[in-house]
Amino acid sequence: MADTHELTLDELRDRIRAAGVPIPDNRLAMVRKLLTEALAPVRALDSRTIRTVEPAVKFVPKAEE
């Protein structure tokens, strides 16, 4: 059974077109594997369920001298 999180070749080509970067055909398999691995945790995530921990600016008051 195909992994539902796998990046398809068509999707990869769409992304390459949108980004406008030249990736030769003989490297598509490598890039597809790399991106599939990198995206796996995000694709497995239901973004509505993750706790409200977010990247944001933090202000830390200067310690007293």
Partner 1 sequence: MSDEIAYATIRELGTRYRKRELSPVEVTSALLTRIEKLDPLLHAFVTVTADRALEDARMAEAALRRGDENPLLGIPVAHKDIYLTRGIRTTGGSALFADWVPDEESTVVRKWREAGTLLLGKLITHEFAFGIQFPGHKFPAARNPWNLDHVPGGSSSGSGAALAAGLIAGATGSDTGGSIRGPASFCGIVGIKPTYGRASRAGVMTLSWTLDHTGPMARTVEDCAFLLQGMAGHDPADPASSTVPVGDYLAPLRRGMSGVRIGVPRNYFFDGVEPEVQAAFEEALGTLRKLGAEVRDVRIPSLHAAHSFLLILLAEAYAYHERDLRERPQLYGEVLRERLMSGALITAAEYTQAQRIRSEICAETAAVLQDVEVLATPTTPRSALPFTMAHDPEVGFVKSNMAPFNLTGLPTLALPCGFSGAGLPLSLQLSGRPFEEGTVLRVGHAYEKATAWHTRRPPV
Residues near partner 1 (CB under 8 A): 12, 15-16, 19-24, 27, 29-31, 33-35, 37-42, 44-45, 47, 50-51, 53-55, 62-63
> Minimum Å distance from CB 48 to partner 1?
11
Cα–Cα distances (Å) from 20 to 3, 16, 31, in that order, read 27, 6, 15
> Minimum Å distance from CB 31 to partner 1?
5
Here the tokens at position 43 are: 């694709």
> Minimum Å distance from CB 21 to partner 1?
5
Contacts of 62 (CB under 8 A, 6+ apart): none
